[in-house]
Amino acid sequence: SRSWRKMCAFGLCLAGSGGGLLLVTALNTVALRRPMASSAAAGEWMYMTTNAGVRMPKLIYGTAWKKERTTELVEEAIEMGFRGIDTACQPRHYREDLVGEAIQNLFDRNVVTREDLFLQTKYTPPAGQDPNNIPYNPRAGTTTQVLESFNTSLRNLGVEYVDSLVLHSPLNTPEKTQQAWRAMEEIQMAGKAKQIGISNCYDLKTLQDLHSNARVKPSVLQNRFYVDSLYDRELRKWCKGQNIIYQSFWTLTANPGLLYSPTLKSLAEKHGKTSEQVLFRYLIDSGAAPLTGTTDRTHMRQDLDAVKDFSLSSEEVSEIDKLIDFACEKASTRTPRRH
């Protein structure tokens, strides 16, 4: 068997009295590989600090849809300089096990240590799973589903903890969403996830209700960044006021209109960059943390250069704000929005 599977798997389980939730860690096998040194430390320019005190990269490598190429691409991304990796316990769209294989390979070669990496995974509710390949018992209660999913993530990744655990989407009732969040809070308070957050939440009231009822406040909101949601302008403004960091995905794929606009093309020419780099930089300068899922080595380097090589002035950020406002005004006159 592959060497990366020789590790400690720390299981989370339910126990209890009086309906209380207890997380128990159990040592299942013998030796967790602990890399001794890193040869690829990244500069402080690459990070922001979340409301949980977590050091999170400003640009994160996304692993959805990579399938059998996941190991190769994750290794390449980290070797290029990425330190944030986003995955999910959702076999339908992610090979979380191959993310684990990639990072264990890099640990073995002393390319990075566990402490160098920001690892983010997700609990995906049953509605988002392939019904023939759900990585937990879908007939169990929501709390048990979350814990079983998280247990699977730790085994897949071969780590003792994750830096960020995200609810992949609100559930079909507010009560179930709160129940899932409470289970994630227990994981966070047990030290197995440094922070928690939510994804695919496009309704401000849903996020506000979750926030107001939470013992552990969300640290991140990860949403598709596109015109159909009016670029989450109100959500992003509210998140900034609550010190919740907005993570964007589909940032490039969903936005050819922005990328080919005269505004971005002019700014790209001015800075000697690409329009894609300018859009990533705009989000970073606005306090967001974009995801990129590129499979191209040149684009990986360009995306990282958008973090370290330049920044936009406040006037240039305002130019792009106006471009987005204009796109939203046009979209508001069309058919109802879909997410």
List the chain pLDDT tens, one digit each, 339 residues: 333 333 333 345 544 333 444 444 433 332 333 333 343 445 778 999 999 999 999 999 999 999 999 999 999 999 999 999 999 999 999 999 999 999 999 999 999 999 999 999 999 999 999 999 999 999 999 999 999 999 999 999 999 999 999 999 999 999 999 999 999 999 999 999 999 999 999 999 999 999 999 999 999 999 999 999 999 999 999 999 999 999 999 999 999 999 999 999 999 999 999 999 999 999 999 999 999 999 999 999 999 999 988 899 999 999 999 999 999 999 988 755 555
**How many whole angstroms separate alpha carbon 217 and alpha carbon 214?**
6
Asked if residues 263 and 279 have their Cβ atoms less than 8 Å apart, the reply is no
For residue 107 the two structure tokens come to 């640990």
Asked if residues 77 and 300 have their Cβ atoms less than 8 Å apart, the reply is yes
Half-sphere exposure (Cβ direction) of 155: Cα atoms closer than 13 Å:
16
**How many whole angstroms separate alpha carbon 210 and alpha carbon 197?**
10
**How many whole angstroms separate alpha carbon 133 and alpha carbon 22?**
27
**How many whole angstroms separate alpha carbon 79 and alpha carbon 315?**
35
**How many whole angstroms separate alpha carbon 279 and alpha carbon 40?**
27
**How many whole angstroms separate alpha carbon 136 and alpha carbon 189?**
22
Instruction: Enumerate the H helices of the chain as residue ranges.
Output: 70-80, 96-108, 142-157, 174-189, 204-213, 233-241, 256-259, 262-271, 275-285, 297-308, 314-332
pLDDT score at 307: 92
For residue 158 the two structure tokens come to 């071969």
pTM of the model: 0.89
DSSP-derived letter for residue 55 is: E
Place of tokens 């049953």: 126
pLDDT score at 9: 37
pLDDT score at 43: 74
**How many whole angstroms separate alpha carbon 176 and alpha carbon 40?**
42
